[in-house]
Structures are given as C-alpha cells and as structure tokens.
C-alpha cells in the first residue's frame, strides 16, 4: 500500500500530459468542426490552415478549442473517450448489445472480451510451447557440449530476425499445409517466448558452483541425480524471472500473429481500427493488451512467490 501514493502521482501526471497533448494533436479537426458550427476561425481558409503548425493554430484560436477532448476520430483521443470506448466494447456490448452474451448466448465479435480471449488463448498455447521448448533446450545445452555449440548460436540468430517480417511467412506457409486459426499464432508466440526461457534456464542450471558439484561427486552421484537434486532446484528462481519475460513476449507474438489475418484478436482490432481511423478502438485494444500483459506477469510473479516460499527460499 505504501506504493499507492507515488503510483497515483505518476498516473495523475501522465493523465495531465495526455489531456494537454490532446489540444495541439487534434487542433486541425477541432477547428474544422468548430468552423462548421459557425465559430469564426483564424485564419478562415482551410487551405491556409493545412500548412500551419499545430501550436500556432492553438495560440491563434484559444477560444475555439472546446472540442479537443470530444472530437470524433481524434488523432489522440482523450482518456475519458477511451474509457467510454472500453466500457462500450465490453460491458455494454456483452450485456446490453444484440450480439452480446446475455442475448445471444455467445460473446459478441465486436467486444474486446471476445477479442481479448482469442489473443489470450493463443498467448497461453504459445507460452506453453515456448516455455516447454525453452526448458528442454536448456537441459540439452547444459548436458551436451554438442548442443551447447550448435543450438545456442541458432537460438540467438532466431531472435535477430524481426518478428513482423517473419510472422506473415509463418502464417502463409502453415496455411498452405492446411493449418490456420490458433496454431500459427501460438507458434509465433512460442518463437518469441522460448528464447528468454532458454537463456534464463541455462543460467539457472549452471548456477551451482564447483563446491556444490564436488560435494555430489563425493557421494558418487549420477548425472541425473545431480540434475534433479541440485541443478533443477537451483534454477527455479532464474526460471521464474525468464517466464515473466517470456509470457509478455508471448502476448506480443500472439498480437503480431493477428495482424496479417483479420480473424479476430486484439491485433486484428488494432489494425482494423487504423484502417478505418477508429483511434479510440486502437487505444482501447491497446489498453486491454497492456492490462492483460500486466495481469499475466503478475500471475507468474504470484506463482514465483508461492513456489519459493514453499521451497523455503523466500525469507
């Protein structure tokens, strides 16, 4: 609770900056709307205004800027407009809407709950594949010199390819062999999340020092005993740290995978919003994505705390 005040201060400051930024960002559209409503604008010619700077327009028309925070399709919608859009595309749509779950029995394809769920399910599947693969690769890398030499460079190279360039290719290739829907997105998501898990897990499995390994040698312990009794437990804190990064990367991967195919999901909502100038829709989807990322990372953090407490490693 002691964090509440600082966090609140930052939030209020951000909101203030946002509201102020709305004025110059939206000034052209706001002035055009005001002009139509009969307010005199300086300069009166739209052509002249087009070439002027945003700030200059603001300074010359201080009386006509009342619409800065309610402009339709604003370049920068104000926070309360986005909040209204969030409300409209979640509660309103599902509870009161014709297509909502209350009246139709299934989630509306216009609601962010529906799209958020699509993204979330791809994120989960992708994360499970990515984290599982990451752990397996790490175990291989730690135990086999050949794998250490061969897998690690490829893992690093794989992350230097921009995912936005790779995602459409993965989707097209998989589509051509008849795989579509959730799986291609999950694969892109796994592609992004396996890497931090490999790196963290390799570090964790190698965390035991010489002395601890020598101790097991004095017991004549086997490799698998060393793994289960020493390496694996030592790696748990490292694993959770990389899982936090991994699940956030998974979410990004799922969203990127939704951009090329307009078949639902937060990524589709964002791109769709930009096609039609629905900035509020973009922002609303963005906030849902950010909220989901925060929730997922928090969830892993909670699991981490519980696990480490049970292991006796958190004092």
Partner 1 sequence: MKTPVIQAKDLNLTFETNDGPVHALKGVNLDIQQGDFVSFIGPSGCGKTTFLRCIAGLETPTGGSLTVNGMSPDDARKARAYGYVFQAAGLYPWRTIGGNIRLPLEIMGYSKQKQAEQVQRTLELVDLAGFEKKFPWQLSGGMQQRASIARALAFDADILLMDEPFGALDEIVRDHLNAELLKLWDRTGKTVGFVTHSIPEAVFLSTKIVVMSPRPGRITDVIESTLPRERPLEIRDSKEFIEIAHRVREGLKAGSEV
Interacting residues toward partner 1 by CB under 8 A: 211-212, 214-221, 225, 229-230, 233, 236, 311-313, 315
How many other CB atoms are there within 10 angstroms of residue 312's CB atom?
A: 7
For 80, the token pair is 């309360």
Closest to 239 (Cα-Cα) out of 277, 190, 201, 265: 201
As measured in angstroms, the least distance from the Cβ of 243 to partner 1 is: 18
Q: Which is nearer to partner 1, 36 or 310 (CB)?
A: 310
Whether residue 206 contacts residue 255, with contact meaning beta carbons closer than 8 Å, is answered with: no
As measured in angstroms, the least distance from the Cβ of 15 to partner 1 is: 44
Q: Which is nearer to partner 1, 133 or 308 (CB)?
A: 308
Q: Which is nearer to partner 1, 113 or 216 (CB)?
A: 216
Q: How far is CA 305 from the centre of its chain?
A: 23
Q: Which is nearer to partner 1, 45 or 315 (CB)?
A: 315
Residues 6+ apart with CB under 8 A from 197: 130, 131, 133, 134, 135, 138, 239, 242, 243, 246
Q: Which is nearer to partner 1, 31 or 230 (CB)?
A: 230
Distance CA 203, CA 195 (A): 12
As measured in angstroms, the least distance from the Cβ of 247 to partner 1 is: 24
CA pseudo-torsion sign 298, 304, 305, 306:
positive
For 55, the token pair is 């700030």
Q: Which is nearer to partner 1, 235 or 250 (CB)?
A: 235
Query: Residue 196 in 3-state DSSP?
Result: helix
As measured in angstroms, the least distance from the Cβ of 302 to partner 1 is: 19
As measured in angstroms, the least distance from the Cβ of 231 to partner 1 is: 12
As measured in angstroms, the least distance from the Cβ of 189 to partner 1 is: 31
Residue 181: phi, psi to the nearest 5?
85, -130
Distance CA 251, CA 246 (A): 9
Q: Which is nearer to partner 1, 46 or 215 (CB)?
A: 215
As measured in angstroms, the least distance from the Cβ of 113 to partner 1 is: 40
| Count of residues making up the chain | 315
């Amino acid at each position: 609770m002691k964090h509440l005040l600082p966090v609140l201060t930052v939030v209020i400051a951000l909101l203030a900056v946002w509201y102020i930024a709305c004025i110059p960002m939206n000034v052209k559209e706001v002035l055009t709307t005001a002009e139509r409503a009969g307010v005199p604008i300086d300069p009166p010619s739209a052509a002249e205004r087009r070439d002027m700077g945003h700030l200059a327009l603001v300074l010359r028309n201080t009386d006509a800027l009342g619409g800065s925070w309610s402009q339709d399709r604003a370049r920068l919608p104000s926070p309360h407009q986005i909040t209204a859009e969030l409300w409209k595309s979640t509660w309103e749509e599902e509870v009161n809407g014709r297509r909502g779950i209350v009246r139709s029995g299934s989630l509306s394809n216009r609601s962010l709950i529906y799209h958020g769920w699509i993204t979330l399910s791809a994120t989960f599947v992708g994360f499970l594949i990515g984290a599982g693969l990451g752990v397996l690769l790490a175990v291989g890398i730690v135990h086999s010199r050949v794998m250490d030499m061969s897998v690690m460079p490829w893992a690093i190279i794989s992350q230097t390819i921009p995912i936005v360039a790779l995602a459409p290719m993965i989707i097209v290739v998989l589509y051509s062999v008849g795989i579509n829907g959730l799986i291609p997105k999950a694969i892109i998501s796994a592609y992004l999340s396996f890497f931090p898990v490999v790196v963290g897990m390799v570090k964790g499995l190698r965390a035991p020092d010489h002395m601890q390994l020598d101790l097991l040698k004095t017991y004549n312990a086997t490799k698998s005993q060393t793994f289960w009794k020493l390496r694996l437990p030592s790696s748990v804190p490292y694993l959770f740290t990389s899982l936090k990064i991994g699940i956030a990367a998974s979410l990004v991967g799922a969203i990127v995978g939704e951009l090329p195919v307009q078949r639902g999901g937060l990524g589709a909502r964002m791109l769709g919003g930009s096609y039609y100038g629905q900035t509020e829709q973009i922002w609303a989807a963005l906030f849902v994505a950010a909220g989901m990322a925060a929730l997922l990372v928090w969830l892993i953090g909670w699991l981490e705390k519980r696990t480490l407490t049970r292991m006796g490693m958190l004092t």
